[in-house]
Structure 1
Amino acid sequence: MRPLPEQAVHLPFEAAPYRMAMDLVTVPEAAWFELDQAYKPDMAERRRLLETAHDQVFAAGAASGPARAEALALIAAALTAHHPDWFSRQGQRLHNQLSHETWDLEHPALDPLELAGRLVQEDLCVIQNGAEGPVFTAAVLCFPSRWRLIDKIGKPLVGVHGPVPFYADRLARPVDRFMRHLKVGPIASRLNWSVLDDPALFQPEGKWRVDGGSDVTPENAGSRLFLRVERQTLRRLPASEAVLFGIRVHVYPLTQAIDRPARAAALAAAVRALPVEILRYKSVLPFRNALLGWLEDR
């Protein structure tokens, strides 16, 4: 079996004035999912959460049933077509060479979306058109970046993003318009980044902190802080017409990601450019000065 590739290091920040934008690019189906050397530990954590905290990491509205089934079918087809070293299929039975599991796709023992979430490292969210715009109707969400699935499920996207500073004024309409007009076929992708003081993948809490972090200093920030990057993908499901929103979370120690002066300078400039509202929302204020001090030393 071919070994998995090394985990990609995504560095989406830039030394430029802060702007809130979707910044979408199109990726081929072969790049829809990232499979890498973090697969086994990531999937072990996903299985643990689905078995011990199911109500926190899985939710589905009744109207999302056809979309959930379609998502599994499309993901299984993509994995066997583009990653045959690790996924193979005999009729309706899908074999995962990496986990040594075999699943019945025709009569799955689990909800189809949950099963899909046990195949890939990405969290998977279903978004469907509603009277108030696109609505968040189902998800397998094991690695939230400081938000709780129970607080968001069933809401239109403008409500899901309600706490995000500037979202309502700057992004709500463009996002809703994009969701309405995304065509079947293209896969859109974007990157989102933050700096956190916790490397855990499962983080349902932690926004709006303005204190704490006193043990982070310019000397130890490289080992105490982590760059967290979400690689997000959006794809229209052809039959149900729902949008499948994927979120692959990467967590890098700063010492790994910021390994050269140009990267340190770019991240320092990006942190300085963040409005105070975003710093509060992302809980960066407790260690902002220590982070900048460490970056300046690099």
Structure 2
Amino acid sequence: MFSSSAAATFLVLGVISSAAWAVFRWRKAQHAALDPAVSRLYRDITPLRLDWKSKEQIQNAPLKGTYHLTMALQTCSFDEMIDMDKTYMDKVMLRRQILKSETRTATQANPVASNAVHELYEWMFGVYLPQRYPTMFSRLDEKGVLHNIALNEYIPLTPPLDPVECLTILGSHVDTDFLLLLPVADPKARPTRALPTPNPAFPYHLHAYVVCFPSGFDMKQKFGLPLAAIHRPVPGYAQKLEKSMDRFFTTLPFGKVVKRANWAIQQGPALFKPSGNHLATTLKPETMAPPKHEPTEQELKEWAEDAEKVVPEECMLRSERQTLHRLERSGALVFAFKTYLYPLPEVKAAGLGEDLADSAEGLWKGSVPAMAVYKRGVVWARKVVEYLRAP
């Protein structure tokens, strides 16, 4: 007959054993190799022998008559993640200027994301670019470098220890902006592998980025925030997208890549636009923007004054080609986007004037009419639509 103390001892040992087994299984999952077929997706990149100097920009803007706030995601391959064209040289030179003059706005990294940043660096320079664009990038393994043929520069294949330096090099050679997210709130937490799960301990937070071409947002203010807080100014996000976005991010499987596109109208050709492309409503900073907005008299007055300054011929159609995928080793999510600018005279000459005019008017017709405020349609729409439809 066991004594009560012995029974208690066995109970404690049982609890400890169960906990130890749970920890063992968790650690095993953290280091588990992917299915070989999935792992190959990260390495079997289709070569594209591109003459980048003559490649025109793609027409990326999703012009639709009615604007509905949806994720609008499409599955794609890793081949489609990075797009190159004849604007590469000019944009990379501009990116370098921005990284030098706007360093804190253009790139930051928390310690928890260091492994993920190093992994992205190794994969982009060691695997993706030399395989996808062999006419632009060539591995010189004997020297431990990647030759950027377009710029005649050499990039170390081994990432620098400093994650910000890694991001700066990425931003200096790739005309794409990168944001890395992890399901961790503590910026100094020990890096662990993020696995797809419907029930993460925390929502995904932005822990590292290199963004040279922001469109109406200051990355310093987004750094370290969870998805919902990042999207706080977006009208209707809480009602229309928050739950589905959180669920999609947390469960995105390894080896899957999705893409989407957006559009905006901006005044002038600046690619670095940390402000000016969006209008914030008169809400408290911690309040999620609602789907509808009743403007104040002061807002109406300010919008009318700003509208008088709009010169359609100087406006640009701006569009981002966005992708999302999960890194193979760290499990961090990489949100990447390339920015395109199209002068409105060129849009009109290409026969897309009516489509863009319909899309502009559609901002008021969809499920989130406050989007007409957020996208500044209340300022530019009247003059721009008239211009696009004029003979």
Class of the TM-score when normalised by the shorter of the 2 chains: over 0.9
Q: Could you say which residue in structure 2 is the equivalent of 1:177?
A: 247
Quick check: 61-70 or 27-36, which moved more? 27-36
Q: Could you say which residue in structure 1 is the equivalent of 2:76?
A: 27
Deviations 1:52-110 (A, max 9, x none): 22111011111000000011112121111111110011123111011111011215386
Question: Out of 294, 298, 306, which is 1:212 matched to?
Answer: 306
| SS of match in other structure, 1:35 | coil
C-alpha separation between the residues in 2 aligned to 1:234 and 1:260? 30
Contact kept, 8 Å, 1:144 with 1:201, in 2: the verdict is yes
1:37 aligns with 2:37: no
Q: How many angstroms does 1:269 deviate by?
A: 1.7
1:10 aligns with 2:60: yes
C-alpha separation between the residues in 1 aligned to 2:348 and 2:110? 41
Tell me the amino acid that sits aligned with residue 54 of structure 1. T
| SS of match in other structure, 1:212 | helix
Quick check: 204-213 or 224-233, which moved more? 204-213
Equivalent residues in 2 for 1:147-158, closer than 5 Å: 147-158=217-228
Structure 2 length as normaliser, TM-score? 0.71
Question: Out of 265, 286, 289, which is 2:382 matched to?
Answer: 289
How many residue pairs match? The answer is 292
Greater fraction strand: 1
Q: How many angstroms does 1:281 deviate by?
A: 1.3
C-alpha separation between the residues in 2 aligned to 1:100 and 1:140? 23
Equivalent residues in 2 for 1:61-80, closer than 5 Å: 61-76=110-125, 77-80=127-130
C-alpha separation between the residues in 2 aligned to 1:175 and 1:149? 20
Moved over 6 A (4+): none
Deviations 1:165-221 (A, max 9, x none): 0111111111111111111112211001011112200000112173414143xxx52
1:60 aligns with 2:114: no
C-alpha separation between the residues in 2 aligned to 1:266 and 1:257? 10
Contact kept, 8 Å, 1:71 with 1:116, in 2: the verdict is no
C-alpha separation between the residues in 2 aligned to 1:126 and 1:102? 25
Q: Could you say which residue in structure 2 is the equivalent of 1:243?
A: 333
Q: How many angstroms does 1:38 deviate by?
A: 0.5
Tell me the amino acid that sits aligned with residue 89 of structure 1. R
Q: Could you say which residue in structure 1 is the equivalent of 2:322?
A: 232
Contact kept, 8 Å, 1:226 with 1:254, in 2: the verdict is yes
Question: Out of 187, 202, 205, which is 1:135 matched to?
Answer: 205
C-alpha separation between the residues in 1 aligned to 2:202 and 2:173? 32
Q: Could you say which residue in structure 1 is the equivalent of 2:191?
A: none
Tell me the amino acid that sits aligned with residue 362 of structure 2. A
Unaligned ranges ≥5, structure 2: 1-48, 185-200, 280-301
C-alpha separation between the residues in 2 aligned to 1:184 and 1:256? 40
Question: Out of 117, 132, 135, which is 1:82 matched to?
Answer: 132
Tell me the amino acid that sits aligned with residue 269 of structure 1. D
C-alpha separation between the residues in 2 aligned to 1:172 and 1:225? 32
C-alpha separation between the residues in 1 aligned to 2:252 and 2:328? 11
Tell me the amino acid that sits aligned with residue 81 of structure 1. Q
Q: Could you say which residue in structure 1 is the equivalent of 2:171?
A: 117
Contact kept, 8 Å, 1:9 with 1:257, in 2: the verdict is no
Question: Aligned in 2, Cα 1:183/1:285: closer, same or farther, shift over 3 Å?
Answer: same
Unaligned ranges ≥5, structure 1: none
Structure 1 length as normaliser, TM-score? 0.93
Q: Could you say which residue in structure 2 is the equivalent of 1:272?
A: 361
Contact kept, 8 Å, 1:13 with 1:266, in 2: the verdict is yes
C-alpha separation between the residues in 1 aligned to 2:348 and 2:205? 37
Q: How many angstroms does 1:224 deviate by?
A: 1.6
Tell me the amino acid that sits aligned with residue 270 of structure 1. S
C-alpha separation between the residues in 2 aligned to 1:268 and 1:107? 46
